Amino acid sequence: MKLKPLEEQVVALMGASSGIGRESALRFASRGAMVVVSARNKDGLDSLVGEIQNRGGKATAVTADVTNFEQVEAVADRAAEAYGRLDTWVHLSAVSIFAPFDRTTPEEFRRVVDTDLTGQAYGAMAALPHIKREGQGALVHVTSVVARRAVPLQGAYCAAKHGVDGLLETLRVELKREGWPIGVTNVMPAAINTPFFDKARTRLGVKPKGFPPMYAPGVVADAILYAAEKAPRDIVAGGAGKGLILGQRLSPGLMDAVMLRGGFESQMTDEPKSTDDPDGLFESMQDQNRADGDFDNQTLHRSLVTWLDTHPAIKGGALASVALGTAALLKARW
């Protein structure tokens, strides 16, 4: 699928005030794209727009909660109004609670699913009419590796991400049947060092964290920008995440054993945090207007696996060289 180069695109990003969304918006703008950024946090959006404009980029902010379809629709409409069209929709908004399933309330579970699954559906519903009007474009939905392999202590989050994976499978086939050149990409990050863990509600008694190793937000942002131009079916951001998904394909039972042995304590820090402490589950959380989280000393800033996946010509050449070398070695030995 041949889509517009980034410098000719209008891109809307949901969940852009912090984390991966913020880093992605900055990178889109630096490549010449016109961006519309959205989140619940107005202060975070204003600071992001200011940063983009100070660097010479073009950006517009629209405050929205993705659980409200009319607010999501207003983001897509604003993109068309401000820049004349919408080419790429990037959906990143997500919330979570870290707790055993039997300590998660119905209200908390519903809020996670409303934001992380229904919100993604609302995004596609709002964006598609504008993208179809342009004649081509991309839907880039950011889920997680837990869309393919669930983990303990995040039941609601894993359920929602699995749901998005199913939604995208359906949407992709329907658009192909209708003949639309519209890419539908599932970007699945491994654990990423963002303020997500500060914003998550917890009943673990401590601040949560991601499975090691963690990666920098830029690893995912690079995958998102690649998806906006090349529209792969899916892409995993972070080699460890690709290993997790491969393990699930090969032996779900073995992965159950891995999770049982190491999937609990590895998601816990030593920093006390109670359920009464501020979180971003139902309301936006202030003072988190940054891309990076608090785990710099545990973060990998590059992923060779992801880089190769976003440079398929080089990857293909490398694989061909390995195959030829192996064949020559075997021939010499025989």
With residue 237 as reference, give the H or E element that holds it.
strand 234-237
Asked if residues 95 and 112 have their Cβ atoms less than 8 Å apart, the reply is yes
What are the tens digits of pLDDT across the range 99-116?
999 999 999 999 999 999
What's 247-288 look like in SS3?
HHHHCHHHHHHHHHHHCCHHHEEEEECCCCCCCCCCCCCCCC
- Could you give the 3-state DSSP secondary structure of residue 299? strand
What are the tens digits of pLDDT across the range 257-306?
999 999 999 999 999 999 999 999 999 998 899 999 999 999 999 999 99
Among 73, 50, 15, 52, residue whose Cα is nearest residue 285: 15
Report residue 253 CA to chain centroid gap.
27
The angle, 0 to 180 degrees and rounded to 10, between the axes of the packed helices 155-178 and 119-134 is 20
Active site residues: 157
- Residue 192 DSSP symbol: B
**What's the one-letter identity of residue 49?**
V
Tokens representing 189 are 């990050």
Sign (positive/negative) of CA torsion 169, 174, 175, 179?
positive
Asked if residues 242 and 191 have their Cβ atoms less than 8 Å apart, the reply is no
- The confidence score (pLDDT) of residue 217 equals 98
Third-level CATH fold of 6-302: Rossmann fold (3.40.50)
Q: How confident is the model at residue 179 (pLDDT cuts 50, 70, 90)?
A: very high
Assess whether pLDDT exceeds 80 at residue 327.
no
Among 57, 52, 42, residue whose Cα is nearest residue 9: 57
What mean pLDDT value characterizes the chain? 94
Domain ranges for the chain, please list them.
Answer: 6-302
What are the tens digits of pLDDT across the range 131-167?
999 999 999 999 999 999 999 999 999 999 999 999 9
**What's the one-letter identity of residue 241?**
G
Asked if residues 237 and 210 have their Cβ atoms less than 8 Å apart, the reply is no
- The confidence score (pLDDT) of residue 36 equals 98
Q: How confident is the model at residue 332 (pLDDT cuts 50, 70, 90)?
A: low
Q: If you average pLDDT over residues 206-219, what whole number do you get?
A: 96
More confident residue, 64 or 330: 64
